[in-house]
Amino acid sequence: MTEITAHHGLFKNTNLHVDDTGGPGRAVVLIHGWPMSGEAFKAQVPALQEAGYRVITYDRRGFGRSDKPLTGYKYDTLAEDLHALLEELDLNDATLVGFSMGGGEVARYFSLFGAERLHSVVFASAIPPYMKQTEDNPEGPLTEAAAADMAAGLSKDEDQFYDGFTRQFFSVDGELKVSDQQRQDAIALCKQADKKAALACMAAFAGTDFRADLPKVSVPALVLHGGGDAIVPFEGSGQRTHATLVGSELHVIAGAPHGCNVSHPEEWNDALIQFLAK
């Protein structure tokens, strides 16, 4: 456990909570989804460590155990936070695994910093290329009305919102694919998030266009997605990312929800470890 300080933006000393297994293996950086924290990867860290990798998770600013500044929740700043972590830990030949919202940091990283420190990347249940449904992005899976409803629900009642959100996060066609204890664990992580940060990041993942970032991905890539994802539907996200990244690999977990790293950890971990070995 350590802290990385991001020296940029209005709040120039934002401390990010980092968990690093250490060791000589190649680094795998797991970037969590909204609105949870690095603890959401507790089913992945031991498996990756056993496979010989140095595993690093961190809490995005505003979430988990990291500082919660008033601003800094657009993707340029979030990608700068990721870069600060790679620099501070002096990581090279690393693999970035961006889950859901975390896929946005992975995509934007290439536009800002290139591929110098990277070996490969994974877009896991990830939001690119562009979530918002617009005239020039009709395949976007998130309508403006749905985004507004999400923001209104979180603003009105956090407890009620997170209860409903986690049900959808782990369900396929209304059927919960995890235990209720696992869902309650996820709710506990959600409640660590600062409300203003959660709302700002909601706007960021809903409204940021990564279509110009994806073609800059110049390292091997895996798209890993749940086939029954109701939060970030595969057809509007992972399928399009795979098509954009020529030569990328694709693994769809049949019948799996958005939170497929929790509901189907063995298949998720196996797909990732097989990709990492290449």
- Specify whether the CB–CB gap between 92 and 224 falls below 8 A: no
Confirm whether 119 is a catalytic residue.
Answer: no
Per the structure, the complete domain to which residue 253 belongs is given by 2-276
Residue 186 is predicted with a pLDDT of 98
Number of domains in the chain: 1
- From the list 37, 229, 237, 263, the catalytic residue is 229
- From the list 37, 66, 100, 248, the catalytic residue is 100
Query: What is the percentage of the chain residues whose pLDDT exceeds 70?
Result: 97
With bands split at pLDDT 50, 70 and 90, how would you rate the model's confidence at 219?
very high
The amino acid at 165: F
State mean pLDDT over 220-236: 98
Residue 86 is predicted with a pLDDT of 96
Q: How many Å apart are CA 182 and CA 168, to the nearest integer?
A: 13
171-206: per-residue pLDDT in tens?
A: 999 999 999 999 999 999 999 999 999 999 999 999
With bands split at pLDDT 50, 70 and 90, how would you rate the model's confidence at 160?
very high
- From the list 119, 258, 263, 264, the catalytic residue is 258
- Could you tell me the CATH number of the domain that includes residue 40? 3.40.50.1820
Residue 3 is predicted with a pLDDT of 73
Residue 123: CB partners within 8 Å, gap ≥ 6?
98, 103, 106, 107, 221, 222, 223, 224, 238, 241
Confirm whether 100 is a catalytic residue.
Answer: yes
Q: Work out the mean pLDDT of the chain and round it to a whole number.
A: 96
With bands split at pLDDT 50, 70 and 90, how would you rate the model's confidence at 15?
very high
Which DSSP string corresponds to 110-156?
A: HHHHTTTTEEEEEEES---SB-B-BTTBTT-SB-HHHHHHHHHHHHH
Alpha helical stretches, state H, the chain: 45-50, 75-88, 102-113, 144-156, 158-169, 180-190, 195-207, 238-244, 260-263, 265-276
